[in-house]
Each structure stands twice: as structure tokens, then as C-alpha cells.
Structure 1
């Protein structure tokens, strides 16, 4: 953060602060390399999960700023490794590697600047000397800054608050996007394809741990990767699933899983038959016995469900674009399982929570 300081005339003791070395230096540079890695990952991740074209540009700009600061720290470390900064009532002394240094009398200092690169610049009328204040321990950095007075304390306080706020918002946003992608996500029902189980305007929560969270397709990846945990399981019949159907990468669909891999599936006499057994489906709108291929002449699902595939259908069979239209759903395109319905848009304004329930 850019900050302008002046010499504290009441300084009465000498402060001597050495540049970090050994394990402390390794931790310092290791943390910053890790920060750059996390920033790069977050930029790529956010560019995938949110529809905003400028994510790469913003992330690239932030990474460039951090990289420039890190390069400056590396260069200054080679120059000042083993050096130190001494502030006394008479002068400011800056020592490089090997003991070479410069002494600036306090009376010759016009002002002191902490610049955006993390250097403390001691300015005289025609000369400026920079010292890497970020390469001091946190305690020593505070001791050095205490030797000077802020020339614009209100401005510095405002900038610090803005920086802290933006930093907190950015971290919270990235965490929220990870929770949304890997753990739980809210959805809204825009159509009647799942009536009467789910109605238009219903808001629900989808959990992503049962099947294992999915890492979206990012740079260097051929396709999304579904992580499997010890507690994760494959989709089961009657699960209400959220997925992207084949050939559709812009919208999520919500349907009921009616058949899984290895099932012998057919539609006959208005019913779904699995492995030779007629399925009882009391949740189908209009009553059981109305399922057909009517309106879907090109897709016949009858037969064995292939490995890694499921069949998904809406509960409102006469008003649903489902596997009868787009075919089998690859398991890796399933995002999660709907499990809680918490309100309907038409009811929330009247504080009616009668739709609150577990989804089955």
C-alpha cells in the first residue's frame, strides 16, 4: 500500500532490524509462491464457473501485480541478504550484503515512502535509497514504521480499510464459489416438467457430496472430473438429479433418475419396466400408466442401459424434455442430488413455508 511518512522528531532510541534469513526467508517466499498458485487457480476456476468474460483479464492483472512484487523481493533479497536497517535519533542507515551501506542524516530526509513494491524509500533532495521493508520480520517492520509519522493518516486508514474489505470480499467470494461448485448449490424451478413433485417457482438445495463433487473442465483438462470419496455412491433409481444433458453446456436440467447402468429398460403399455418388472410410479402427474414415446419418435431407450449412463425423466411425462429426447445421461454430467425444497416464490411473500420439505 502506498504510504508517505516523515521522520519522528521525538525518536529517542536506536532501532536495528536485520533482513530475514534461513527458514524465515524460505517461509516468506514459499507463502508468496503459494499465494500466486492459489490466485492463478482461483482465476481459472472462477472463469469456468461464472459466465463473465473478464475473469481471466482481472485474474491476470492481479497475478501480474503479485509477480512483479515477488520479483522485486527476490532481487532485493540478493542485494540485502545479511543486511539490516538501523534508525537512530541521528540518521537512517541501510546495509546491504557484505556490510556495504549508506547513512542518511535525519535532517537531510525530505520524506519516506512505502511504495507498492514493498520497498521503503528514503528520499533526500536529489537522492533516493530503497530498502526492502517486506523482508523484515513483522515485528521489526512495525518497529521501523513506528520511527516515522504518517503524513496522511486518514488517507492511509481509508486505503487500509478498502484493501482489507476487498481482500475479505474476494476470499469470501472464492470460498462461496467453491462451496457452490463442490458442496451445495441453490436452484430455481422455471418449468413444470417435474410437477407435482416440484412446482414452477420452487427453490431447492442440491448437495454434491453423495455422488462426489465434480471438478469443472479447466485449462489442460479434456473433460470434467468426478471425485469419488469413500462415502460417495452412484446415482440410484428415484434420485432427483441435476445434470447437463448431452450436447447442452449452458443449462442445467432437473429430472428423476428412472434407470441406471445395467438395467434392462423399456416403456410398454404406459409404464416403465425395469429388468422385467413394472415400476410403480405414484409421483407421475396424471397418474401412473401414461409414460410413452409419443412426441419422441427418434429416441428409443429400450434395452440395457450402458455403463456410466442413466435414464432421466420428468414426473410430468407429457410436458418434459428428458432422456426420451436427448438419450442417456452420462454420470459425469450429473452435478448433484436435490434434497431440500425450502420455499416457492409465490408463497414466500405471504410467509407461507408449507412447501418446506425433504425431496424424495
Structure 2
């Protein structure tokens, strides 16, 4: 009787183990498919998109907005660039997450300023698209946060792009080498992106070989940033652990991105 009981237990344990493995694999597949097809969270490590995005923000990138390519795979998967399926262009003013062309394992976030075929130039910090100037309306003084937790005063402006999209930008200095750029045509299959912290952003104004983005291939787009799902002040990391909850920026939790 004992032998019969033991013989019956072994297959049961094997079936339970097999079922457990299948369940784990199924969960991983569901998560992978969801992160590939629907949305994926990303963390903001730098201040290049301040004040729209802050260091320590957790973003949610909607992936179906622009179609799918190998860039749409979860961030831990890095494959060569491919064409997009069900592709759609971003709109001017969209905040996007993309694979940096210099290292596709890195995800960067910037704002789309110009689309394929657009003429874009900068004069003294003002963006011109197809000859039309984006308007800059002064909006007081803000505080730009650095990666070390320190802050610096920054002039705030409301920038209105041709077409009417509005967002806030920072200017740290009155004059910056990136404030001027000669007229350039955005090539087919590319977009021109900039950071909202205009004096602290390596973007399409900076060539790829110089550490910037250059013209961004649309195949590198991961998704559109629609929301901030969480935020924590990284300046708290040097404080005692029991004070870390004070660094939660609750007002930014589940907030939209303009």
C-alpha cells in the first residue's frame, strides 16, 4: 500500500512542476507581448526634458501609436533596425521614446519638432519650421535640476509650434552655441527632435558622432509618452533611507504629458 501511494505521488509532483513551469512561461510571454505591443515603462535619468519631465520620473510609452519595429521590443532586447509595420508618423510636439542610433540598447526621450520634408532652422533660440517661427512667451523663472541633485535658475518660456501645440521650455543662458542652426531639410523616414531644456540637451541639433541624435530614423521610435506613472526625487538618495518616502512627488503620479 505504501509503494502504491509513493508511485502515485511522483507523477502528481511531476505534473505540478510542469504546470508551474508552463504558468511561469505563460506569464513571461504575456508580459513580453504586452510590453512589445501596448506600453512599456521608462525611467528618466537626465534633465534634458525639464520642466516637462523631471529626473526620476517613470514614464509610460504607448507603443501602438507609431506602429512596430524591432525598436518596439522590450528594452532588454536589442536587435538591428527594421522597417515599421502599421507605421504612423508622430505629430509635431509629441514626446517620444526612441532607441538612440549610437547605441540601440539605450532609450532616450525628446520632443518631435519637425517631420520628414520640413525645413527647420534656429535663430537665437527661436525654432523656424518651413519659414514659420515658433513663438516664445516668457513665463517666469523655474529651477532646472542637475543629475547631482543641485539646481540652477532657468528662464521659462511657453513655446507654441506651428500648428498650435504648446509646451514649456527652459533656457539656462541667454546665448548658447546650439541657439543657431542653418536651414536643414528633414530627410524622408526621419524626424527632428529637441529637448525642452534647450541648453542641456544633446538632440538633433548635435551630430550623432558628437554624441547627439542627428536626424532620428522613424524606425528607431519606441513609442509616444502619454503619462507619468510615478516620480521620485533622486536628490534623496544621499539622505537616510527612512527619509526616502519624502522624495515621492505624488503630484506627478499618473499625470499627463503635454
Call closer, same or farther: CA 1:328–1:291 in 2, change over 3 Å. Answer: farther
* Selected match of 1:293 from 178, 197, 208: 178
- Taking the aligned partners of 1:255 and 1:342, their CA distance within structure 2 comes to 18
Q: Extract structure 1 runs of 4+ deviating beyond 6 A.
A: 287-291
Correspondence list, 1:218-233, <5 A: 223-228=81-86, 233=88
* Selected match of 2:225 from 338, 353, 356: 338
Call closer, same or farther: CA 1:324–1:183 in 2, change over 3 Å. Answer: same
What's the secondary structure of 1:257's corresponding residue?
Answer: strand
Call closer, same or farther: CA 1:330–1:266 in 2, change over 3 Å. Answer: same
* Selected match of 1:284 from 166, 169, 181: 169
What's the secondary structure of 2:168's corresponding residue?
Answer: coil
- TM-score, normalised via structure 1 length: 0.51
Correspondence list, 1:37-76, <5 A: none
Q: CA deviation at 1:277?
A: 1.1
Q: Does structure 1 residue 313 correspond to structure 2 residue 211?
A: no
Q: Does structure 1 residue 328 correspond to structure 2 residue 226?
A: no
- Taking the aligned partners of 1:181 and 1:349, their CA distance within structure 2 comes to 31
- TM-score, normalised via structure 2 length: 0.70
Structure 1 gap segments, 5+ residues each: 1-5, 7-148
* Bigger proportion of residues as strand: 2
Q: CA deviation at 1:352?
A: 5.0
Give the aligned length. 204
Counterpart position of 1:169:
24
Counterpart position of 1:237:
92
What's the secondary structure of 1:247's corresponding residue?
Answer: coil
Of structures 1 and 2, the larger Rg is shown by 1
Contact between 2:100 and 2:220, CA under 8 Å: does it hold in 1?
yes
- Taking the aligned partners of 1:173 and 1:163, their CA distance within structure 2 comes to 15
Deviating more after overlay: 260-269 vs 155-164: 155-164
Q: CA deviation at 1:290?
A: 6.2
Contact between 2:98 and 2:109, CA under 8 Å: does it hold in 1?
yes
Structure 2 gap segments, 5+ residues each: 74-78, 136-158, 160-166, 209-213, 235-243
Counterpart position of 1:41:
none
Note the alpha carbon deviations across 1:185-239, whole angstroms, 9 max, x for none: 0000011111111000001100011111224599xx97423111xxx63111110
- Taking the aligned partners of 2:68 and 2:223, their CA distance within structure 1 comes to 8
Task: Tell me which of the two structures has the higher relative contact order, counting C-alpha pairs closer than 8 angstroms and 6 or more residues apart.
Answer: 2
Call closer, same or farther: CA 1:309–1:288 in 2, change over 3 Å. Answer: farther
- Taking the aligned partners of 1:330 and 1:301, their CA distance within structure 2 comes to 20
Q: CA deviation at 1:263?
A: 1.0
What's the secondary structure of 1:261's corresponding residue?
Answer: coil
Q: Does structure 1 residue 186 correspond to structure 2 residue 41?
A: yes
Contact between 2:71 and 2:99, CA under 8 Å: does it hold in 1?
no
Counterpart position of 2:257:
359
Q: Does structure 1 residue 153 correspond to structure 2 residue 13?
A: no
- Taking the aligned partners of 2:125 and 2:228, their CA distance within structure 1 comes to 29
Contact between 1:256 and 1:315, CA under 8 Å: does it hold in 2?
yes
Note the alpha carbon deviations across 1:58-108, whole angstroms, 9 max, x for none: xxxxxxxxxxxxxxxxxxxxxxxxxxxxxxxxxxxxxxxxxxxxxxxxxxx
Call closer, same or farther: CA 1:339–1:170 in 2, change over 3 Å. Answer: same
- Taking the aligned partners of 1:301 and 1:174, their CA distance within structure 2 comes to 48
Q: CA deviation at 1:153?
A: 3.0
What is the root-mean-square deviation of aligned Cα atoms in Å? 2.9
- Taking the aligned partners of 2:52 and 2:122, their CA distance within structure 1 comes to 21
Contact between 2:71 and 2:98, CA under 8 Å: does it hold in 1?
no
